[in-house]
Structure 1
Amino acid sequence: MIRIVQETGSTNADLAARLAGGEYLPEGEWLVADRQVAGKGRLGRVWNDGAGNFMGSTVIRPAAGDPSPATLALMTGLAVYEALVGFLPRQSDLRLKWPNDLLLNDAKVAGILLEAANGVVIAGIGVNLHSAPDIPGRKVVALSDLGVEIGRDGFAQALTVSFDLELQRWRTAGLAPLLRRWQSAAHPLGTRLTVLPPGEEALEGRFAGLSQEGNLLLALDDGSQRTIHAGDVMLASAPH
């Protein structure tokens, strides 16, 4: 079910408030806003989108036997990728970037914010269908910039289908197939990356794939390899 509101501060915050108030929110129910005026992305960045873009949130209820909730970022990214790629003339233009951004021609076209609340995980997703927000120092793009016109409601329907499918696969097939599919949709092995781990200096290296737990493997220039559990990741050629 998709519930649409004309304007809100943040769809993630709205769902969190409803959960805090004791409301039961089932998986498969989405809150989608025409406009979002107080949205945020990872690391506290402002991410406000306008009419025509997709801004929506849903809940995931981790259960006993599920993979680690930390891997939901990869699952959600793959769900958005599968929803978007069917609308594009060239699949190779769209790439996943760890942990949960989507790049179109190396510019950010979609982002994901996962937040824990009242025993569930809220997945917030923003996709630049019609316009791209102005983010200083970041390359951003909208589908419409490339002549690809996708209606918000049509995309929302595609996303609910792919999200439900990927969530079921995550639960039943284990992590290995998810990690293989995620990596095949990511930038190629060997891509130069700049990584900003929390509280550390920037690291430069090459994408060496994912660990068995879904963490980023970074091959450093000195020949060593670093496992990245958290941090901001950018293509080294992109502006910081």
Structure 2
Amino acid sequence: MSGLTLPPGWRLQDFESVASTMELATQALVEGAGEGLVIRAREQVSGRGRQGRVWRSPVGNLYMSILIDPAPTLAETAQLSFVAGLAVWRAVSDLAPGAALQLKWPNDLLLDGAKLAGLLLEVPYAGRPAVLGLGINLRTAPTDTPYSATCLPPRATGPVDRDEATEAVTLRLAETLGQWRREGFDSIRRDWQSVAHPIGTPLTVRLTPETPIQGSFDGLGPDGHLRLKTAEGVRQIPAGDVILA
């Protein structure tokens, strides 16, 4: 880990095996930690994704959680999901130039249509830093998921390692946070849409497992809500699971 480059003022706490990096980051909040704390682990035994789903976390992939200062309102802080997704797209594009990467609403990174990375944003305490958890499949991908998953293919120089990925993600995240804070969410929304599933992509959105809605992607609303064009008109979806048809 010697020579690992992080953004100025950011700091890394590294662990071998933990229950969840998000749990450790939330505990660090209680102890007064602020923006730029990065908690990384070689493996998680109780990693989790959205809606409490298990996130398989074997050795070899990247698992970390980062504290990020909130915006003035909770609604604006929710925009961090898109800031982070865009930053991860940029970071992985740096690591794997030319890879067929695509963002999927609200918080997945796809490679050739299969899930490569996932993000989870939580705000445990109002007015205090948010916890951004992320996992990137660098070496292995799960095979027992309801969706297809994949990992980064090895380069001619060898596979991407955790230190390379940590540097790329943190540097791009700091850069993209700066863009958001200087230029506002419209700038992030424009750039996010440019690397996401295109306007018109057929989607199925599950608000709950029993309530699928079919339509096509009509972009992001000004608050980051999914605009879904249906037979009845355009719906604004604040949360849900998206399946690319």
TM over 0.5: yes
Q: 1:98 aligns with which of 105, 108, 131?
A: 105
Which of 49, 58, 63 does residue 57 from structure 2 map onto? Answer: 49
Given that 1:198 and 1:230 are in contact with CA atoms closer than 8 Å, whether structure 2 keeps it comes out as no
CA distance in 2, matches of 1:124, 1:65: 20
Answering whether residue 205 of structure 2 is matched by residue 195 of structure 1, we say yes
- For structure 1, which runs of at least 5 residues remain unmatched after alignment? none
For the residue of structure 1 that corresponds to 2:85, the secondary structure is helix
Q: Deviations over 1:170-190 (max 9, x none)?
A: 112111111000000101111
- In the alignment, structure 2 segments of 5+ residues that lack a partner are 1-10
1:157 aligns with 2:164: no
How far apart, CA to CA, are the structure 1 residues paired with 2:208 and 2:49? 16
Cα RMSD over matched residues?
A: 1.9
Is 1:233–2:242 an aligned residue pair? yes
Q: 2:178 aligns with which of 168, 190, 211?
A: 168
Q: What TM-score comes out, normalization by structure 1 length?
A: 0.91
Q: Deviations over 1:11-56 (max 9, x none)?
A: 0011112323xx1212122011011110000011100211121100
Instruction: Return the alpha-carbon distance in structure 1 between the equivalents of residues 60 and 41 of structure 2.
Output: 10
| 1:156 maps to amino acid | T
Amino acid at match of 2:197: H
2:227 aligns with: 217
Aligned to 1:180: 190
- Find out whether 1:13 has 2:23 as its counterpart: yes
How many pairs were matched up? Answer: 232
Percent identity, aligned pairs only, is 39
Instruction: Summarize the alignment of residues 101-140 of structure 1 with structure 2, pairs less than 5 Å apart.
Output: 101-118=108-125, 119-140=128-149
Q: Which runs of 4+ in 1 moved over 4 A?
A: 145-148
Deviations 1:141-190 (A, max 9, x none): 01137987211111101111001111111112111111000000101111
Does structure 2 conserve the Cα–Cα contact (< 8 Å) formed by 1:56 and 1:126? yes
